[in-house]
Chains A and B, each alone.
Chain A
Amino acid sequence: MDKTQLRRALQIAAALIVVVLVIGLYKAKTDAAKTEAHVRQLQAEISETESDLRALRADIAAQESPGRIEAMARDRLGLVVGGESAALPEATMDRNLPPPQSPAQP
C-alpha cells in the first residue's frame, strides 16, 4: 500500500470515526435527556415522599404531645399528675401499712 492509499484509508477511517462519534454524541445526548427526565421524576417522587414524611412526623409529634399523653393517661389509665402531697416518703410508709399480724400458731 503506497502513501496515497494509506492516506485515503486514513481519511476514510477518520470520516468513519467522525460519523460514529456524531452518532454516539447524538445517542449520548438522547440518553442524557432521558436520564435527566428520569432524575427529575425521581426528584419529584422523593420530594413528594419527603413531604409525606414531614406530614407524618408532624402527626407523630402531635400524637406524642405532653397534653395528649397526659389526657390519655388520665382518661384511660386513671393516672393523675403527681404532687408532693400524693407521694409518701419511705419513713412514713409504715404509718399507712396495716398493723403487723401475729404469726400463725402451728
Chain B
Amino acid sequence: MRPFGAARVFAPDRGIAEPASEAAPARNRVRFLALGIFAVLMLLGARAIQLALSGDPLALPRAAAIASIPRADIIDRNGVLLATTVRAYALTATPSRVWNAEETADALRNLFPELDRATVVRRLSDASRQLVFLRRALTPEQREQVLALGLAGIGFEAESQRVYPQGVLAAHVLGFTDVDLNPLSGVERGLDEEIRAAGEAGRAVRLSLDVRMQYALETELDVAARAAGASGGAAILLDGRSGEVFALASWPRFDPNDAGQASENQRRDRVAGDVHELGSTIKPFTVAMALEEELTASGEVFDLTRPFDIDGSLIEDHEPISGLVGLREILARSSNIGAARLALRLGGARQRGYLERLGLLSPARLQLGHNQAPIAPAARGRRDVAALGFGYGLAATPAALAGAYTVFANQGARISPTLTPRAPGDVIERTPVFSAEVARRLVLYLRAAVVDGTGREAEVPGLAIAGKTGTAEKLGAETYDESRNFSSFAGVFPANDPRYVIVLALDDTGAGEAGGAVAAPAVARTLRRIAPMLGLNVTPRARE
C-alpha cells in the first residue's frame, strides 16, 4: 500500500513546476499585470473623485451658450429696452434643386414684392453656385410663410437682427447697424466693443438716457422746428454735476429699424456732429472771463449807446441800449457792444485759454460714433477777438456748449457730458474754469436774462431757469445772411441751486426768429413736462 501524504499527492504539480530560474519572469509578469490593473483602477478612482468634487462639467459651457448674443441689449437708466438682438433668417436657395426658377421667383415675390424678379430668377438659375442668398433679415413669421409655399430648393440660414423697439425715439443716440450687425453710427458705434463684450457675457449696456425725458425733448423739438421752418434742430438735457445726459435729440428724425430708407439729412446727428457759430450763448463766458481776470466789476457801468468801431468795423446791438448799463444788462439785453469791449480787455491769448478749458476748442466726448471737431481759427486781430466775445468766429457743437454751461452748476468747474451712467463713488473729472463766486454771479445775470431780458419766453413759473438766448446769423456765400439764423437757448435750472443744463437750437430759422422767440418757448414747454420727472415743482398758472 502506498503511503498517502501531501507531498506525494501534489507530487505531479511539483514535477511540472518550472525551475526557480524560469518561474521568476512569470511571477514578474503577473506582478506587472497586477500593478497595471491597480494603476488603472487608481486612475479611474481618482477621476471619479475629481468628477464628484468638480460639479457638473457641462454646466459652465451651457451657461455661456445660453446667454451669449452677438450684440448686447441697450437699455435706458431705468431699464427700458432701447435696442436688442433677435433671431432672423436669411432666405437662401440651392439652384441645382430648384425646379422652376420663374415660378419660384413669382411665388417669392408674392410674399416679398420688393424682390427684383429678374435678379431672383438669375440667382435661382445659377447652377454654378451651391447656395445663393435671396433676402436677409426674415422674421420667424415670414419664414413660416415661405415654408408654407413648399418650394423646392429654398432654405434658410439663421442669423441675428438688430431691433430698436422705441422706433424713432433716441434714434440718433442709438445709431444703427448694417445687416451683418456692424455698427454704423450712434452708441452702436461709439460703444461697439462694450456692446460686443456685454453680449458675450449676457448682460445689457445701460445708458444715462431717460426715455420719458427723451420723448418730451424730442416732441417739443419737433414742434418747435416745424413751427420755425427750421432745416434742423438739436437739443440736449444733462445733469450738470455728473455730466450724465438724460436726453439728446436731433431733428429731423428717422427710424433706425429702417435706416436705409432715411436720408443722410435725417440720419445726421446735430448735437455732437454739427458745428455752428453759437452767437450770444457765448456771452456769459465773456463776462465771466472778464470778472475772473478782474478786468471789470459787478458795479461797473458801460455806455453802449453808440456803435463800437474796431479798426473800421462797426459793432452794433440788435436793439440799441440807451443810458449807462451794468454787466447784468449786458447779458439780459444781449449787448454785442458790451461783450466786444470786455473781450478786448481780455485779449486773444487769455480768451483762447478760457475757451480751451471750457471745452469749446475740442470735440465733445460723447460715446457716439462721431464727435465733430470745432472750427476755431486763432484770432488774427482785435476784430476777431471782439467777435469771439459775442459768439462769432468759433463754430462748436451744441454738445460742447452744454458741456461749457456745466460750469454754472459746478461752482465754476466744467464736466464733460457722458452717455454712460455714473456709479456711486465714481471719480468725475472736473476742469476748473472760473471761481465759485464768478459762477454764482453769472447765474444771477442769466436769471435776469430770463426774468426781464431776451429769454423771457423760457420762464417756467416755479422752476426758476437761468439762461441765455443766441441768434447767430448764418454765413452766406460771402457775408452773413440776416434772413438765416441759428437760434438757440442755453440755460441751467433751478437757478437757486443750478444742477441741470439744457441747450436747444434750431438751424436755419428765418429773419426775426431769434433764439428768444423760437428756442426759449420750446425750452419752457420741455421743462414743464420734464421738471416733475426730476422731482422739481412747476407752479401752475391760472387759465386766462
Contact = CB atoms under 8 A, between A and B. Distances in A.
Interface in A47-84: 47-48, 50-52, 54-55, 57-62, 64-67, 70, 81-84
Interface stretch (B32-40, B126-134, B398-406): B32-40
B539 A89 contact: yes
B58 A36 contact: yes
B65 interface: yes
B86 interface: yes
Contacts of A81: 529
A52 B241 CA distance: 40
A43 B168 CA distance: 35
SS of B interface (majority) = mixed
A64 B81 CA distance: 10
Nearest to B64: A43
Contacts of B85: 54
Interface string A1-36: 000100100110010011001000000000000011
A77 B195 CA distance: 40
Q: Give the interface centre of A46, A54, A92 by most chain B CB atoms within 10 Å.
A: A54
A85 B84 contact: no
A51 B86 contact: yes
Contacts of A11: 30, 33
A62 B30 contact: no
Of A7, A42, A51, A60, most B-chain CB atoms within 10 Å: A51
Given A84-B540, A88-B540, A50 B166 contact: no
B34 A14 contact: yes
B38 to A, nearest CB: 9
Interface in B20-48: 30, 33-34, 37, 40-41, 44
A47 B542 contact: no
Contact of B169 (A14, A48, A65, A87): A65
Contact of A57 (B81, B525, B538, B539): B81
Contact of A87 (B37, B163, B540): B540
B30 A66 contact: no
Interface residues of B, number: 45
A57 B164 CA distance: 11
Interface residues of chain A: helix, strand, loop or mixed (majority):
helix
B2 interface: no
A62 B37 contact: no
B382 interface: no
Nearest to A51: B87
A21 B167 CA distance: 63
A62 B166 contact: yes
A39 B211 CA distance: 40
A59 B542 CA distance: 41
B320 interface: no
A84 B538 contact: yes
A4 B140 CA distance: 74
Contacts of B528: 82-84
Given A42-B62, A55-B86, 17 more contacts: A36-B58, A39-B58, A43-B65, A43-B66, A52-B87, A54-B84, A54-B85, A55-B140, A61-B82, A61-B166, A62-B166, A65-B169, A66-B211, A84-B541, A85-B544, A87-B540, A89-B542
23 contacts: A17-B37, A17-B41, A18-B40, A21-B44, A42-B62, A43-B62, A47-B65, A50-B67, A51-B86, A58-B165, A61-B81, A62-B165, A62-B166, A66-B211, A66-B212, A67-B168, A67-B215, A83-B525, A84-B461, A84-B538, A84-B541, A95-B542, A96-B543
Interface of B: 13, 30, 33-34, 37, 40-41, 44, 58, 62, 65-67, 69, 73, 80-82, 84-87, 140, 163, 165-169, 211-212, 215, 219, 460-461, 525, 528-529, 538-544
Interface of A: 4, 7, 10-11, 14, 17-18, 21, 35-36, 39, 42-43, 46-48, 50-52, 54-55, 57-62, 64-67, 70, 81-89, 92, 95-96
